[in-house]
Structure 1
Amino acid sequence: MAKYKFIDLFAGCGGLEDGFLQTNKYIDVAAVEWLKPQVNTLIHRLKNKWGIKDAADRVMHFDIQREEELFGGWNDEEFGNGKGLDHFVNEAGGIDVIIGGPPCQAYSVAGRVRDENGMRDDYRNYLFEHYLNVVNRYRPKVFVFENVPGILSAAPDGTPITDLIRQGFSNIGYDIIDDLRIAKVNASDFGVPQNRERMIIVGIDTKRYKDTQAILGRFYSEILPSFKESKKITVREAIGDLPECNPFYDEEHHKKRKSHSEPESSVTWHKPRYHNLRDMDTFRTLALDIESGRREYDSKKISELYEEKVGSKSPIHRYHVLEPDLPSTTIIAHLYKDGNRFIHYDSKQSRSITVREAARLQSFDDDFDFVGSQGNAYQMIGNAVPPQLAKRVALALSKMLDEIE
């Protein structure tokens, strides 16, 4: 059967794209991303893993809000030169699928709590309109719109964002499932060693297909669940075979705020970030508490420990040790600032997780390389769609398409 052609919007470093390509059922036509380290990482992956020689052209470093140039091409001081989406879509003879999801900060419950205006003024609330316009221009058979569950309760201007999205797609002839609650999935059910709830919103072209609600109902109730794993993967199973990283203190590295551990691993990106003695002692104490089975450090006691160590109070407890025999908690982009909520379970190592450990917990293969700084790598991993979740969604989508075609 012929492969389905797709473009990826808000592509990030390519977690969603990588999962689709792993199925061998899709052809990558183009991708759009505006953050340079993510663009460089995706180009590197497409060239070196998937053999796409002109990846530097197909991965478009550009702002999706500038639609006319996005479609027709640009010559820009910030973004360089680009042929535009029209060029690659026309060259491919049209596309079958659009994948991607706008940045989720404005939809997340945590984001709305932190922002004094509840994220009402955040431009990211409306980036879905540009996604919608790309869908309308190229008329794929289906689309996959990935986002956070907070989208179910977001209402930046008083109108539920789900109503705006549903109406927007309906206006251009696409249907999404009536009850969006069933579009919520947990990545840990699909081979990802992490509890990570996400919305997988699939839309179908109503001008091309009939009985779209029935098709979508079967997708969510039968097809997608058939790709679940029978057993969840734990943190220990995901990262326990990686070489130990035992940071130690010396004045030279401390002054430079550089991590120092022995031995260095042959696995890429498996090097601990810099920790001071205070943090290392805190990590050791909390990991040992779980390791020993005492489990004395509840939220209250962790807050007291923070106040004792740092000298100030915090309304939230800022430390968390990953449970070795459970899936990880949700890997977040905040990791690029600190890893205090992602402490390694081995008390001897007294550190937060490395980039490679974070990548494994997001189900990235060890040959997936990240281009940029350590902070860039943590951030793009935290913002990514886990490739294994993406792979299962892609398999389910191709099965649905095979049926309705």
Structure 2
Amino acid sequence: MHQKILVIDLFAGPGGLGEGFSACSTEDGKLAFKIGISVEKDPAAHKTLTTRALFRKLITNNQARQDYYKYVMGKITREDLFRKYPKEARLAQEETLHSPQTLGEDNEIIHKRIKELVESHNGFKIVIGGPPCQAYSLAGRSRNAGNKDYRAEEDHRHFLYKEYLEVLSIAKPEVFVMENVRGILSAKVNNKLIFPQILDDLKQPSIATGTTNMRGYKIYSLVVNSKSPENPDYQNHSDFLIRAEEYGIPQARHRVILLGVRDDIKKIPDILVKTKNENNTVKNLISDLPRLRSGLSKHQDTDERWMIIVSNYLDQLSQYFEKQGKAEAFSKLNLNLSKELKRNCSMNNGTKDILMPNFLRNWIEDKDLNVVLNHETRGHIETDLLRYAFCAIYSMLYDGISPKSRDFPAELAPQHANWSTGKHADRFRVQSANKFSTTITSHISKDGHYFIHYDPTQCRSLTVREAARLQTFPDNYYFEGNRTQQYVQVGNAVPPFLAKQIAEIVFNLLNE
């Protein structure tokens, strides 16, 4: 009898890692993994997790899938959906512990459930997840550096990985997968790098937690081959860094991912296989989605007003690029504004010409889904619309290059004290059509300046769905919460398609 591998998902966010593992299947088409628990403290992300957990339990029932589509289209309420399928709803809520839970604060509830799952499971177990990264991220450390009262050794976020160790000591999994930002490699506490200590603790959780009868772990890279099954030997810590764009993800996302394997397992795990696909571009991933206009904040927001404003801006930019010797190239651009553009579009009336690579299309597309989820623009102040249009046109005229602050006309410079110092050279960044995107981060929830759409006639930042596409979330993945909360969830997630590739490596290792 096929025994699924039990997954314990910590710091789960909206479920990017879990989605990849839950989709991994055996050669005969059976699911290889079963998520037993997903722990998340953020209410909006927790709601997303629970909705997705229910979807996975309804997926094989055609009528239930149709009811799920009715929910995400707004035709029935979430309560209606959960009430109609009480057994599956109960299991989904059990999976996410019925409510948001915080490791370190709600350990009695979390640990109790993990113990129950482990005791009732006869098979392999894995722990996955990434402790919150604010203390390790370069942006977070930059903010902390500006706070004279900040003490790294007093920041509990540096030590949340110890909650991960506690779960390892309870579950005693054969394998674990731990993810974090690249800044963890250089983060310091008491002027000492913290990453070597994290590695040592993960290799011997029993020492760090005082647990008896527990084996240690060998820590493998997922991108650099180990020389020895007895003692994985890596030249430097950067060997643990995964550049997601090299593995089919249309995004320059660089993250540290550690693969822990119990030390009595002799087989050396495989590494990720690089993808040679030049079609993994922003345009190919999102151009089939319905075209939308940006919103107008602080002023009356109507289609007519937006048309007048953006038309005037395009005329101004025509004159600017003419001065730059780009008049002929500018004239060849298709900058015709459409009166049909709206701020949101749930019905799938985008283009039918889907350009994304087949391996991603098969992963992302849901042919039964006749709506586009989470596809609504935010509002922008009028002067930023002019800067967005400038960035998008600049990228079109200069081979996909996003302009730096020095490239902006003086009249487009924002009233920012550091604008001309070079410290904010990338204050505005267009996601160029024919390249993979820059890293989708939670900062996209703030203002959108780093995530400008490549099409100047839409004159806006990316929507939640477009960001989710670049993160490789399936189109039927519905993000709960308000739009700001949705952006945060997408930005913090592990790309599910990358997670699926990691899941296949784990399954192949344990299947031996």
Paired residue for 2:271, among 224, 242, 248? 224
Distance apart, 1:330 and its partner CA: 0.2
Q: CA deviation at 1:289?
A: 1.2
Q: Does 1:235 align with 2:287?
A: no
Within a 5 Å distance, the mapping from 1:132-143 to structure 2 comes to: 132-143=165-176
- Cα offset, 1:164, TM superposition: 1.3
1:42-81 Cα distance to aligned partner (Å, 9 max, x none): 00001013445411122132111036513455xxxxxxxx
Find the aligned partners of 1:366 and 1:397 in 2 and give their Cα distance: 26
1:301-340 matches, within 5 Å, as 301-302=406-407, 308-310=413-415, 312-314=417-419, 315-317=423-425, 318-340=427-449
Answer yes or no: is the 8 Å Cα contact 1:303–1:316 preserved in 2.
no
Aligned-partner Cα distance in 2 for 1:375–1:168? 36
How far off its partner does 1:378 sit?
A: 0.3
The match for 1:183 among 240, 260, 282 is 240
- Structure 2 residue aligned with 1:88: 117
Distance 1:163 1:297 in 2: 37
- Decide whether aligned partners of structure 1 residues 296 and 126 sit closer, same or farther in structure 2, where only a CA change above 3 A counts: closer
Query: Which whole-Å CA distance do the structure 1 matches of 2:394 and 2:181 have between them?
Result: 32
Task: Quickly say closer, same or farther: Cα 1:155–1:234, change in 2 above 3 A.
Answer: same
Residue number in structure 1 paired with 2:353: none
Q: Which amino acid aligns with 1:252?
A: Q
Change (3 A) 1:284 1:96: same
> Which amino acid in the other structure matches residue 63 of structure 1?
T
CA distance in 2, matches of 1:324, 1:118: 42
> What amino acid sits opposite 1:244 in the alignment?
R
Q: In the alignment, which residue of structure 2 is the partner of 1:57? A: 94
Any idea what SS the aligned residue of 1:262 has? coil
Counterpart of 1:291 in structure 2 is 396
SS at match of 1:246: coil
Q: For structure 2, which runs of at least 5 residues remain unmatched after alignment?
A: 25-30, 59-87, 207-215, 221-232, 307-339, 348-371
Q: 1:71 to 1:12 in 2, by over 3 A?
A: closer
Asked if the contact 1:94/1:138 (under 8 Å) is kept, the reply is no
Q: Which amino acid is 1:239 matched to?
A: I
* Deviations, residues 223-264 of structure 1 (Å, cap 9, x unaligned): 2233x322141101110111111236594338xxx9x95274
SS in 2 for 1:309: coil
Could you tell me which amino acid in structure 1 is paired with residue 197 of structure 2? L
* Whole-Å separation in 2 of the counterparts to 1:135 and 1:166: 14
Counterpart-to-counterpart distance in 2, 1:135 and 1:306: 57
Quote the Cα distance in structure 2 between the aligned partners of 1:118 and 1:72.
30
**CA offset at residue 89 of structure 1?**
2.9
Find the counterpart in structure 1 of residue 383 from structure 2. Answer: 278
Equivalent position amino acid for 2:217 in 1: Y
Distance in 1 separating the partners of 2:416 and 2:132:
35
User: What residue identity is the alignment partner of 2:195?
Assistant: T
Alpha-carbon contact 1:244-1:349 (below 8 Å) kept: yes
TM normalised by structure 1 equals 0.86
* SS of equivalent to 1:284: helix
Aligned with 1:252 (options 297, 300, 307): 300
> Using the alignment, how far apart are the partners of 2:3 and 2:34 within structure 1?
10
Residues 162 and 253 (structure 1 numbering): CA distance in 2 closer, same or farther, change over 3 Å?
same
Displacement of 1:386 in angstroms is 0.4
Cα distance in 1 for partners of 2:119, 2:38 equals 15
Work out whether residues 166 and 175 of structure 1, in 8 Å CA contact, stay in contact via their aligned partners in 2: no
CA distance in 1 between partners of 2:385 and 2:498 (Å) = 33
| Aligned residues with identical type, % of pairs | 33
Counterpart of 2:49? 42
Q: 1:241 to 1:34 in 2, by over 3 A?
A: same
Retained in 2: the 8 A contact 1:188–1:195?
yes
> For residues 350 and 25 of structure 1, do their structure 2 counterparts lie closer, same or farther at Cα, with a shift above 3 Å needed?
same
Looking at structure 1, the residues matched to 184 and 401 of structure 2 have their Cα atoms a distance apart, in angstroms, of: 36
DSSP-derived class of the 1:377 partner = helix
Partner of 1:366: 475
User: Residue deviations 1:319-350, cap 9 Å, x none?
Assistant: 00011111100000011111100000011111
What's the offset of the Cα at 1:311?
5.2
Partner of 1:209: 265
Q: Is the 8 A contact 2:400 2:433 kept in 1?
A: no
1:262 counterpart residue number: 342
In the alignment, the residues of structure 2 paired with residue 64 and residue 190 of structure 1 have an alpha-carbon distance, to the nearest angstrom, of 31
Distance in 1 between residues matched to 2:104 and 2:296, nearest whole Å: 47
- Residue 299 of structure 1 aligns with an amino acid whose one-letter code is K
Residue 101 of structure 1 pairs with residue 102 of structure 2: no
Contact 1:121 1:156 in 2 (8 A): no
CA RMSD in angstroms, aligned pairs only: 2.5
User: Closer, same or farther in 2 for the Cα pair 1:5/1:38, shift >3 Å?
Assistant: same
Taking a change above 3 Å as real, the CA distance of residues 141 and 235 of structure 1, as seen in their structure-2 partners, is same
Q: Which amino acid aligns with 2:249?
A: V
Q: Distance in 1 between matches of 2:341 and 2:414?
A: 23
User: 1:179-232 CA deviation, whole Å, 9 max, x = no partner?
Assistant: 3432211111222110101111011122x334xxxx4xx43xxx2233x32214
Measured against aligned partners, the alpha-carbon deviations of 1:130-177 in whole angstroms (never above 9, x if no partner) come to 101100111000100111122111222333222211221233212214
Question: Normalising by structure 2, what TM-score?
Answer: 0.69
CA distance in 1, matches of 2:445, 2:47: 18
Structure 1, 288-297 or 364-373: larger mean CA deviation: 288-297
Tell which structure's C-alpha radius of gyration is larger: 2
How far apart in 2 are the matches of 1:308 and 1:118?
Answer: 36
Distance 1:162 1:97 in 2: 22
